[in-house]
Structure 1
Amino acid sequence: MIKFTLEGEFIPLIQLLKATDLVSSGGEAQMVVLDGLVKYNGEIDYRKRLKVKRGDIVEFNGQTISII
């Protein structure tokens, strides 16, 4: 599990995937979200501009990111 410490109120999902090195670019991040490969709090989410906040769980490519 990856623990990501949030600096502000939220982080956009695309930026989170890049910040945790699970994708190499913003374009790749957008594609995996639109392809339904990312789960947000246990459910597939297609929103590119999703605001991820403390306490949320994001899953992608066998990795789980816990936002703290």
Structure 2
Amino acid sequence: MDVQIYTPYITLGQLLKMADIVSSGGEVKGFLEDEQVLVNGQPEQRRGRKLYPGDQITILGKQYEIRAK
């Protein structure tokens, strides 16, 4: 699934909210502690991780790719 962004980057926490995986920023930390998230094939637990166009993120078995608009 492509995620269109209008800024140079978004954070992992913002992606989780955009994809309706969490409903608020307060849920992000707990989600990342409980679930494995991969950014470009590497495990990631930092909610502030910057995601740039071309990055591939795997969350709950779904693949997301950041695209510049």
TM-score normalised over the length of structure 1: 0.85
Q: Is 1:38–1:44's contact at 8 Å kept on the other side of the alignment?
A: yes
Could you tell me the percent identity over the aligned residues? Answer: 34
Aligned length: 67
Runs of 4+ in 1 over 2 A off after TM superposition: none
**AA aligned opposite 1:53:** Y
Structure 1 residue 35 displacement after superposition: 3.4
Unaligned runs of 5+ in 1: none
Q: Distance in 1 between matches of 2:58 and 2:45?
A: 13
TM-score normalised over the length of structure 2: 0.84
Unaligned runs of 5+ in 2: none
RMSD over equivalenced CA pairs, Å: 1.4
**AA aligned opposite 1:44:** P
